[in-house]
Chain A
């Protein structure tokens, strides 16, 4: 794998994570339990889609085949997506959505912090921009996880169920492959082992305050960031997200 190919793959992972999670979160628009939460979720989705434009825009530039951020987002099929399995999981109830968000945000903050020191200035600039927004996302998702975990018997039960359901998708974030290793060697990508320990410190503190129990299984699902095997949910999501581009190829405003 050339450095350029690894860089393209790495950028797709960054952009596909924010795109897929941004779309998932936007599915709550008009459906959240209260108006304030509805607005908050829509704003978070907006930040993530904005970050996607930067990551996939740069991916298209690096690839050099003339594909724009829109082309990459709307004209690829499931097997070409490089997002983590965690972010494509369905929203479930509100608690499950916020648990997914908190697990991703805790990873995202640490990842972006490392990327602000990337040897590639373009990546460092996007990371610095996104980090400000994502720090705010984590503040909110962790507060909500704590509030609901340490809430009523019912909210606690739902949050523990969400954690148990989503935990097998956490390990993939920290399992390095050839792309991760190439990017780390190039002074761009993070050391995933060190990142994991910072993630654990954060998440352990949040879960303890939320009175939730971290599952003790280290089993990790994989196949999202390599594109080897996504869960069945991504295809269904893309039929919604890409509907217009599929039904009317080349449509413009």
Chain B
């Protein structure tokens, strides 16, 4: 029996991002489309940053997750237009990021509050962080450094 698309989306929502495992690839907004083409499941994935090394791992994780649930023919299609934006992060994903200690993206260009203590006196340490999608900030209230998910 062919699983229906909502079931497949649900499965994909259980595939963690390899770098930030508290959110799923669906939370991240990089799964753009899922469709059956005959007996092949086509999954359109968009990269976050052009050179993000996690992209190929994500494709492999998606294939593995679907294979484990009995889908034998999967085709991962890279779709670059329209380009990925942090607007596509789900609300669930944003909340999980904050719980995990990563400030979610904000249109103001910097974090609203410290994800650890909720402090609002924040200083940018570096425009880049441990992955291409993050910048490095520090809370001047609790003095802890933290990652900020860049808004693009």
**Which single member of B80, B126, B130, B152 contacts A125 (CB below 8 Å)?**
B80
B52: chain A residues at CB < 8 Å are: 46, 50
Q: Check if B132 sits within 8 Å of A47, measured CB to CB.
A: yes
B51: chain A residues at CB < 8 Å are: 45-51, 53
Q: Check if A39 sits within 8 Å of B128, measured CB to CB.
A: yes
**Which single member of B53, B81, B128, B152 contacts A132 (CB below 8 Å)?**
B152
Q: Who on chain A is nearest to B131 by CB?
A: A43
Expressed in whole angstroms, the Cα–Cα distance for A130 and B84 within the complex equals: 11
Q: Who on chain B is nearest to A34 by CB?
A: B126
B152: chain A residues at CB < 8 Å are: 132-133, 136
Interface residue? A173 (CB, 8 A): no
Within 8 A of B (CB), among A111-170: 121, 124-126, 128-130, 132-133, 136, 139-140
Expressed in whole angstroms, the Cα–Cα distance for A129 and B51 within the complex equals: 11
Q: Check if B125 sits within 8 Å of A129, measured CB to CB.
A: no
A43: chain B residues at CB < 8 Å are: 128, 132
A-B contact count (CB 8 A): 66
Q: Check if A46 sits within 8 Å of B80, measured CB to CB.
A: no
A29: chain B residues at CB < 8 Å are: none
Q: Check if B49 sits within 8 Å of A47, measured CB to CB.
A: yes
Within 8 A of A (CB), among B116-152: 125-130, 132, 136, 150, 152
B82: chain A residues at CB < 8 Å are: 128
Q: Who on chain A is nearest to B83 by CB?
A: A129
Expressed in whole angstroms, the Cα–Cα distance for A23 and B79 within the complex equals: 26
Q: Who on chain A is nearest to B85 by CB?
A: A132
Interface residue? B111 (CB, 8 A): no
Query: Given A50-B49, A53-B50, are A132 and B130 neighbors across the interface (CB < 8 Å)?
Result: no
B29 CB to nearest A CB, Å? 14
Expressed in whole angstroms, the Cα–Cα distance for A121 and B79 within the complex equals: 13
Q: Who on chain A is nearest to B152 by CB?
A: A132
A124: chain B residues at CB < 8 Å are: 81
Task: Show the binding face of B for A, using Cβ within 8 Å.
Answer: 47, 49-53, 80-84, 125-130, 132, 136, 150, 152
A-B contact pairs, 14 of them (CB 8 A): A36-B125, A36-B126, A37-B126, A39-B126, A39-B130, A40-B127, A48-B51, A51-B51, A128-B83, A129-B80, A129-B81, A129-B84, A132-B152, A139-B127
